[in-house]
Chain A
């Protein structure tokens, strides 16, 4: 057992010694995005209490294991916190919160996709991370515009939010189905 611990310590030391800057920054970005998303989504009553440590752990875990299911779990924890805050704690659906949660979740998700492929000791060209972030920002920008327009429309059509959500949801569901069908049919 002692041998096992010594070997693990040695392996960790080698990992730390070989690690390069950009993969570490990418993993740091994942942790930052999820922790911020958790802070924004979860009710202030909980984020100000000692439970914040648990939330922090849930946010940092995807950065440590970006290849596992931790990323999906972290996103679900954020969404759960958001639903909890807006239903149980009866918080208002503020535009800035929806925008920032959507942007941070997508950033965390796409950086995890990058980190899953990127070895910790790789020599990374800056244009790999630069191009990746540029694509992510483009997606975030398009979805932000969509969010602003949609929330504006729902504010004008007060009371019709349910109908709009249903319509948008159905349209998106059809879109996703078509997308998946295309993906499977076409090489």
Chain B
């Protein structure tokens, strides 16, 4: 009768299975030369030839007196803490030796993301590891762009027994380093177009309990005593109260157009691509509004249509940063469908900030659609200045010029539709526009 479970392989094979320690060419050479010199010495009756073979035999005997049994352990260490692009990253490779013999030579190397400038990461390192010990190789460096960057996969090759035995390469999968976008300073001082909640920092256009003075009016039943304006009351000899505007919070929807990427990213100190500007601006705007107590939600305008629901507070800010790390350009031809993204997804009170390069005609259509459905929409132009397509023929410059003119035309038509378009320029770049939008919001709505 056969057993249901297949029999285990003989125990003798265990040492030669993974990890496979294999003889090197040096061991083959040692055996060949020793044998040949001994045979020649015996055949020719020459003791000096035997003595020439002696170091090879002694070297092999000393080297192979103890054999390696287990595989080296290679680990990739990467910094776990909060790293902002341009900040320093600490990565490292650690080779551990669980064996009874020491490793005479360990050649360890790793691949890294091009956005992590780690010192000497493009070179292999040659180290030794003592018996039952470990050796670490430090790779300090700098993260030059936001995103999830790989440190690894790393590989180690070990030689033991004086280079007579070598281990097959041990490969370790990559570790990810999360590099958060640098938030460009942004401060919008203007009122929100529509405050939705009952609490918050924005002064609303409705009277209520708040900090912003709206005017002074005669006392009416129900008014709080602490609201009485004593100066005015004394002057007019009638009780007056100071009326204030209520403070409200608001929802801000950041809509990220990921239909295309343009411009080559030069990292944190170099030129910014469309996605660089999009992500950094989104992080800055989200940070600003979340600090003020507003609810911020994010959405991608692309085939994946990822979205992050609205929430407030520092926790949401960290979630936003984490969400932004996965922003990728949508390279597929399949566009966002109407049922995936539509104006009905956007709260009617939300301030919609669309970060778009306005390269794809679908983006302009989406903006026009949002504006027509009565959403407070602001378009932030993320196309880097001076970006041009690769020069493929003598007609490329003329075609680029025509395309730019057409784009200006689209921008003009969007403005006619009531969608302000501003180029992202950090602090205060949205102030004027937000003022216009809130003025529009105070006007009667509907078409």
Q: A residues bordering B, Cβ < 8 Å? A: 18, 20, 22, 67, 71-72, 75-76, 79, 82-83, 86, 93, 98, 101-103, 105-106, 109-110, 112-114, 116-119, 121-125, 127-128, 131-132, 135-136, 138-140, 142-143, 146-147, 150-151, 154, 161-162, 164-166, 168-170, 172-173, 175-176, 179-180, 182-183, 186-187
CA distance A101 to B60 in the complex (A): 18
Residues of A within 8 A of B125 (CB): 122-125
B216 contacts A by Cβ under 8 Å = no
Question: Is B51 interfacial (CB 8 A cutoff)?
Answer: yes
- Are A114 and B52 in contact, CB atoms less than 8 angstroms apart? no
Q: In the complex, A122→B381 CA distance in Å? A: 47
Contacts of A142 in B (CB 8 A): 58
**B80 contacts the other chain (CB 8 A):** no
Cα separation A124 to B23 with both chains bound (whole Å) = 23
B97 to chain A, nearest CB (A): 14
Chain B residues, Cβ within 8 Å of A71: 29
**Is B38 touching A172 in the complex (CB atoms < 8 A)?**
yes
Cβ–Cβ contact A139 & B59, under 8 A: yes
Describe B's contact surface by its main secondary structure. Answer: helix
Query: Which residues of chain B come closer than 8 Å to A82, judged between CB atoms?
Result: 48, 52
Q: Which of A86, A117, A182 has the most CB of B within 10 A?
A: A117
Q: From the candidates A114, A125, A151, name the one contacting B127 in the complex (CB within 8 A).
A: A125
Q: Give per-residue flags for B226-237: 1 if the beta carbon is below 8 A from chain A beta carbons, else 0.
A: 000000000000
Shortest A103–chain B CB gap in Å is 7
Q: Which B residues touch A75, using CB under 8 A?
A: 29, 33
Contact (Cβ within 8 A) B126 A123: yes
26 A-B pairs with CB atoms under 8 Å apart are A71-B29, A72-B33, A75-B33, A76-B33, A86-B46, A101-B52, A102-B54, A112-B26, A117-B163, A121-B123, A122-B123, A122-B126, A138-B62, A143-B58, A161-B45, A162-B45, A165-B41, A165-B50, A172-B54, A175-B57, A176-B38, A176-B57, A180-B31, A183-B67, A186-B67, A187-B21
Q: Which of A22, A101, A131, A176 has the most CB of B within 10 A?
A: A176
- B61 is an interface residue with CB less than 8 A from chain A: yes
Given contacts A106-B59, A176-B31, A183-B64, contact A143 B54 (CB under 8 A): yes
- Complex Cα gap A71–B24 (Å): 13
Residue of B31, B54, B123, B128 ringed by the most chain A CB atoms within 10 A: B54
Beyond A105-B52, A146-B54, whether A124 also contacts B12 by CB under 8 A is no
Among A124, A139, A182, contact of B55 (Cβ-Cβ < 8 Å):
A139
**Identity of the chain A residue whose Cβ is nearest the Cβ of B159 in the assembled complex:** A117
- Check A116–B26 contact: CB distance below 8 A: yes
Q: Is residue B47 contacting chain A, with contact meaning CB distance below 8 A?
A: yes
- Residue of A with least CB distance to B52: A102
Q: Which of A109, A135, A154 contacts B62 (CB 8 A)?
A: A135
Q: Flag whether B15 is at the interface (Cβ < 8 A).
A: yes
Complex Cα distance, B61 from A173, in Å, reads 13
Min Cβ gap A110→B in Å is: 7
| B61 and A98 contact, CB distance less than 8 A | no
Query: Are A165 and B46 in contact (CB-based, < 8 A)?
Result: yes
Q: Residue on B with the closest CB to A148?
A: B51
Q: Are the CB atoms of B62 and A117 closer together than 8 Å?
A: no
CA A119 to CA B126, docked complex, whole Å: 9
Are B104 and A173 in contact, with the CB atoms below 8 A? no
Closest chain A CB from B49 CB (angstroms): 7
* Interchain CB contact under 8 A, B163 and A113: yes
Is B196 located at the chain interface by the 8 A CB criterion?
Answer: no
Which of B39, B42, B105 contacts A117, CB < 8 Å?
B105
Given A71-B29, A102-B52, A151-B47, check contact A135 B41 (CB 8 Å). no
A143 to chain B, nearest CB (A): 4
**Which of A93, A113, A140, A146 sits near B48, CB closer than 8 Å?**
A93
When chains A and B are docked, how far (Å) is the Cα of A116 from the Cα of B55? 20
* Interface hits, B221-265 → A, CB 8 Å: none
Q: In the complex the two chains form, is A128's CB within 8 Å of B127's CB?
A: yes
Is A147 a contact of B51 with CB atoms below 8 Å? yes
Interface string of B137-149 (1 = CB under 8 A from A): 0000000000000
